[in-house]
Structure 1
């Protein structure tokens, strides 16, 4: 998994140069740029973390739900507590339910 992570980092650097040259704001619309970044981001997460990426997508969707529904003055509080609570639960379940000490890349790092 560590090799996947390093490979994604290197590929992302090269993709950033390509993105800047061929998808610059003057050449393409923001929708195309956002779609490209979203698709590559999802691919990188799945490639790096495998089935653990489901946890990241769940966390993102929960925080997005908070952003849509909560008042502006409380979004940061709710998002912080939901994210920290979810990651704490994931860490505890990794230690006690799954085998602790297995050398894998942890998605919550």
Structure 2
């Protein structure tokens, strides 16, 4: 239900975004700020406290992109992301109760 609600709201937000925040009317900073805040809200609404995992993974990969050598960013990002998600899957199976019908953030 949360995903469907987010999809419907996102469609209306996209229409509003296109009409009121078009590139001719607002600056790119305002547009990026609005989309970032709305996206964070959607993630928290859909995944709850599990969204912290998504933010940690995204910020870690962003840190890799900023600091790593251009020729090896893809390797570092891939191994960090796959390693983190693998650890999350394993902890979900063995530490938490596997089989409970909940949304898995690592999907």
Q: With structure 2 as the length reference, what TM-score do the two structures score?
A: 0.98
What value does the CA root-mean-square deviation take over the aligned residues? Answer: 0.6
Gaps of 5+ in 1: none
| Corresponding residue for residue 99 of structure 2 | 101
Q: 1:4: which partner in 2?
A: 2
Query: Which residue of 1 is the match for residue 21 of structure 2?
Result: 23
Which gives a bigger RCO, structure 1 or 2 (Cα 8 Å, sep 6+)? 1
How many residues align? The count is 107
> What is the distance in 2 between the residues matched to 1:73 and 1:38?
28
Shift in Å at residue 13 of structure 1? Answer: 1.1
* Structure 1 residue corresponding to 2:43, chosen from 20, 45, 65: 45
Deviation of 1:10 (Å): 1.0
Structure 2: segments with no counterpart, 5+ residues? none
Q: How far apart, in 1, do the equivalents of 2:5 and 2:24 lie?
A: 30
TM-score (norm 1): 0.96
> 4+ runs of 1 displaced by more than 6 Å?
none
